Amino acid sequence: MNLELLPQLSPRTLLSLFAVLAVAAIGVRLMWGPPAQIARRSGLVILRCLVVLLLLIPLFNPVQVSETPGHVEHNDVLYLLDESESMNMVNDDQSRWDQAIGIIRDAKAKTTNVSANTKSFRFGSRLSAIESKAQNSASEDLFDTIKPTSSDTRLRMALQQITSRFGRARPASVVVFSDGRVRDSEGIEELAKHFAELNVPIHVAPVGDAESRGDLAIIAAVIPESVRRHSRVEVQVFTRSFGLDDQRAELHLTALDRDGNPLRAVTTPQPLTLRDGFQSHRVSFRADEDTQRLLIHIPPNDRETTSQNNSIEATTFIDHTKIRVLYVEGSPQRIQAIRQGNKIVYRGAHTELQEALVADNDIECIVVSGGGGMLTRITNDGSPDIERGFAASSAELAAFDVLILSNISREMFTEEQIDWITSWVSRRGAGLCMLGGPNSFSAGGWAGTAIETILPVTMQEAKFDWDPGAVVQGKVDLSGTLHPIWHLVSAAKTNRKIIEQFPVFDGVNESLRVNDPLATTLVSGSDDTPVLSVGRYGKGRSAAMATAITEPWARAFLNEWGEGDDRYFAKFWRNMVYWLAEDSTIGRRRLIASHDKQYYKPGETMTLRAVGYDEGAKVTQDYRIVAMIEPKSTSFDLNNYDSPFRWPNGVQREEGMEGPMIMWGEEFELPRANADTDGPLGVENEGYAIELQINDAMLNASANEGLRIELTAMDGQTQVDSTSLDVHILHDPFELQNPFPDHDLLQRVAAASGGSVIHDSDDLAAVLNDLDVKRGPPVVRKSPLWSTWWLWALIVGMLTTEWFWRRSMGLA
């Protein structure tokens, strides 16, 4: 601020004015004479001279002049941050994302150019702005709330769309922070040349280790959500590797505690031979804990880009729904009432096996005795109930998972009951076990019946094949992986020694032969005839044991296999029941649903099937089956209402609903299958079926966590039953198919647009500081001094003082 004189009159005019005033003053003095003596006071003279001088100031027009620098024109710099999943790759304990954010934050502290105005955008499958409010508040808060989770990278699309965000003035430059692994690389250099024509260079900040030699990633793992105790659980692990062709690796499964700490290995490491590209591996373990939390891990190779993607967690839960066993015992031993203290206990030939099974809280055993010439139900206290026998209907049989026929003849069952058993095993996945004795197999009239087709052995017809004098010392097949029924103790060496001591039996049904190729012999006799065989039939399982398991034929089996309290008879039979029931659908269900594959890929078609059962456990199409799709995890982006499935053709949609995709929670009805025509159910064309097309691209990065299809059977307005299916869609983003960074692509983009390569925060700060600082014209403000209130207040005050002074002297 300074003071300038800007008189309204020219200097010559002012001098002339002063000369006139001087002549006038002299003329007045000469005309009127000198002032009176009393008025010749020096104070008054000085005061009046000051007033005159102040009154003369406006003639010279003193002006206060202030000048403000012109407005700084901002140079916009647009940041494009790659938010795709490959930015999670870690090198030297820092992810590519963190590396990019670190460059931005450090450069901000080094930027001195006040004209640099940065605006941040993120891109993956689409371009979106980062909120300016958060951007201006604190960069730490801004970037901490963003995670690289997009399942795709489209840089060319982002560059095309960013031009619509330029505003009135073009930005000074665009800075791309990426690893260069993009899907739409074709034509991107031509697009960059257009930026050069616009004089908007594209600078690139490549992140990631371009010197990496290889990488292995576990993409996903598919594991059943719930399993039976002691059952074999199969895990399918999907990997993708590059640059490690023919390298050796190991797949480890480790049980974790609730806090995620390793407990123990649940299986031996599985050796792998890596092949570049996509691979699938199968590994299994036996479920023996209430809840199994697993770490699936492949120790990293020293050539890998990152070890962060070498592990994945999975969880399976134990299904504690009781396994219901219907045990029919035909041995003639009478049921005896024995007093134990104040309690009467009933014991019979069935007691040992029943007690062995119910010792497991997850097994329920109902006994039917046939020793008295008729099938009689045994009550919970062990006494006979002559009013009830074998299952009175297919529905009652369907309430069980396993049927054990021990030393019981064919004539004790009706033809209808045989049909029930056959359908129950083949269609509903139940288990059937036949044990030896004088009333079993051919000796019991079972040869040539439908039951024989279920069993893993064949019989000789019309032959009494029971040899009560035979002494059977079975040979257990210990080659390869042991069958689940042989897992008696946890220590492997001790377990094999126990199996090798498999006890001697008295008596055998000698006409049995293995029903190849559907069966496996676990124990064989001296002449290689089957003593214990297992197999499958339809959806179910079966077992056949040529020896009896009650007194007196199995005394060693019951009492001598093991020492002291360590008897293995009970554990053996519990293992047998768990294995037989492993495929059981739990017959109490009236709606059974399934899909055709364990996992799916984007673009594939899933066939969804459902079978309804009436009260008599017969297949029916009288129900209306309604389904809906729900995300299995809350990590899904529920702002996107579309599920990964397209709306099926030919299915009526609720009024008002539209769009190509099935929405989360939207109900759709399964059509009834036509048994007269081919359809998605194939040869078993019954019940209900529908084909659902999976979208080509998964929009959500958490798709590996799967989704759930809820199905409900409706009879009019009444809900009959409901069930759910877990569906695993393999999420395999394009950019993760090759996790190596592509810095060459980014460098070509920078060169084509006239930009530069930014290696660190110093380079980025230099780009920002080198921007031209453009200022508008300065703002000049002028304030005349005579127009100020204090000047006129001073003049008025001095005149007033002079008047009062003169008045006090009698001059006024």
The predicted-structure confidence for 440-462, as pLDDT tens digits, reads as follows: 999 999 999 999 999 999 998 76
pLDDT at 476: 92
pLDDT at 177: 96
Q: Would you say the CATH fold of 323-580 matches that of 215-318?
A: no
The predicted-structure confidence for 703-721, as pLDDT tens digits, reads as follows: 455 788 999 999 988 898 9
Instruction: Kindly indicate the confidence band of residue 590, based on its pLDDT and cuts at 50, 70 and 90.
Output: confident
Higher pLDDT, 581 or 782: 581
pLDDT at 695: 86
pLDDT at 209: 80
Q: Name the β-bridge partners of 251.
A: 270
The predicted-structure confidence for 260-276, as pLDDT tens digits, reads as follows: 889 888 888 999 999 88
**Residue 682 in this model has a pLDDT that exceeds 60:** no
Quote the DSSP letter at residue 274: -
CA 18 to each of CA 4, 21, 22, 46: distance values in angstroms, whole numbers, following the listed order: 21, 5, 6, 19
**Residue 336 in this model has a pLDDT that exceeds 50:** yes
Residue closest to 435 by CA, chosen among 301, 546, 589, 555: 546
Residue closest to 191 by CA, chosen among 165, 156, 167: 156
What burial letters (b/e) apply to 12-22, b meaning 16+ CB within 10 Å?
eeeeeeeeeee
Instruction: Kindly indicate the confidence band of residue 82, based on its pLDDT and cuts at 50, 70 and 90.
Output: very high
CB 623 within 8 A of CB 715: yes
Quote the DSSP letter at residue 676: T
Quote the DSSP letter at residue 304: B
pLDDT at 371: 76
Q: Name the β-bridge partners of 92.
A: none
The predicted-structure confidence for 245-260, as pLDDT tens digits, reads as follows: 888 999 999 999 888 8
Range ranked top by mean pLDDT from 357-366, 367-376, 380-389: 357-366
Cα 329 to Cα 348: distance, rounded to the nearest angstrom: 10
- With a threshold of 0.85, does the pTM exceed it? no
CA 174 to each of CA 108, 113, 775: distance values in angstroms, whole numbers, following the listed order: 16, 17, 22
Pick the CATH number of 72-209+741-775 from 3.40.50.410, 3.30.70.60, 1.10.443.10, 3.30.70.100: 3.40.50.410
**Residue 376 in this model has a pLDDT that exceeds 70:** yes
Cα 602 to Cα 584: distance, rounded to the nearest angstrom: 31
| CATH number 3.40.30.10 given to 215-318 | no
Task: Residue count of the chain, please give it.
Answer: 812
Q: Which long-range contacts (CB under 8 A, 24 or more apart) does 47-52 make?
A: 47/798, 47/801, 47/802, 47/805, 48/802, 50/798, 51/795, 51/798, 51/799, 51/802
Give me the amino acid identity at 779: V
pLDDT at 678: 43
Share of the chain above pLDDT 90, in %: 37
Higher pLDDT, 52 or 811: 52
**Residue 6 in this model has a pLDDT that exceeds 70:** no
Residue closest to 433 by CA, chosen among 535, 584, 583: 535
**Residue 438 in this model has a pLDDT that exceeds 80:** yes
Give Cβ neighbours of residue 676 (< 8 Å, ≥ 6 apart): none
Kindly calculate the radius of gyration of the chain based on its CA atoms and give it in whole angstroms. 47
The predicted-structure confidence for 57-74, as pLDDT tens digits, reads as follows: 776 677 777 777 766 678
Higher pLDDT, 59 or 685: 59
Quick one: 319 exposed, middle or buried, by C-beta within 10 A (0-12, 13-18, 19+)?
middle
Higher pLDDT, 176 or 461: 176
Report, as an integer, the average pLDDT of 79-87: 89
Element counts in the chain: helices (H) and strands (E): 17, 49
CB 370 within 8 A of CB 400: no
pLDDT at 79: 94
Give Cβ neighbours of residue 6 (< 8 Å, ≥ 6 apart): 61, 62, 63, 782, 784
Across 8-12, 278-282, 398-402, least confident range = 8-12
Residue closest to 302 by CA, chosen among 193, 377, 215, 410: 215
Higher pLDDT, 127 or 733: 127
Residue closest to 445 by CA, chosen among 411, 418, 404: 411
Q: Name the β-bridge partners of 521.
A: 533
**Residue 230 in this model has a pLDDT that exceeds 80:** no
Report, as an integer, the average pLDDT of 294-316: 85
Cα 630 to Cα 709: distance, rounded to the nearest angstrom: 6
For 591-734, CATH number?
Answer: 2.60.40.1930
Report, as an integer, the average pLDDT of 299-307: 79
Instruction: Kindly indicate the confidence band of residue 223, based on its pLDDT and cuts at 50, 70 and 90.
Output: confident
Share of the chain above pLDDT 70, in %: 86
Instruction: Kindly indicate the confidence band of residue 679, based on its pLDDT and cuts at 50, 70 and 90.
Output: very low
**Residue 563 in this model has a pLDDT that exceeds 70:** yes
Cα 382 to Cα 345: distance, rounded to the nearest angstrom: 7
Identify whether 530 is preceded by a cis peptide bond (ω within 30 of 0): no
- Spell out the domain ranges in the chain: 2-69+780-808, 72-209+741-775, 215-318, 323-580, 591-734
For 323-580, CATH number?
Answer: 3.40.50.880
**How much is the mean pLDDT over the chain?**
83
The predicted-structure confidence for 494-543, as pLDDT tens digits, reads as follows: 999 999 999 999 999 998 999 877 789 999 998 889 999 999 998 899 99
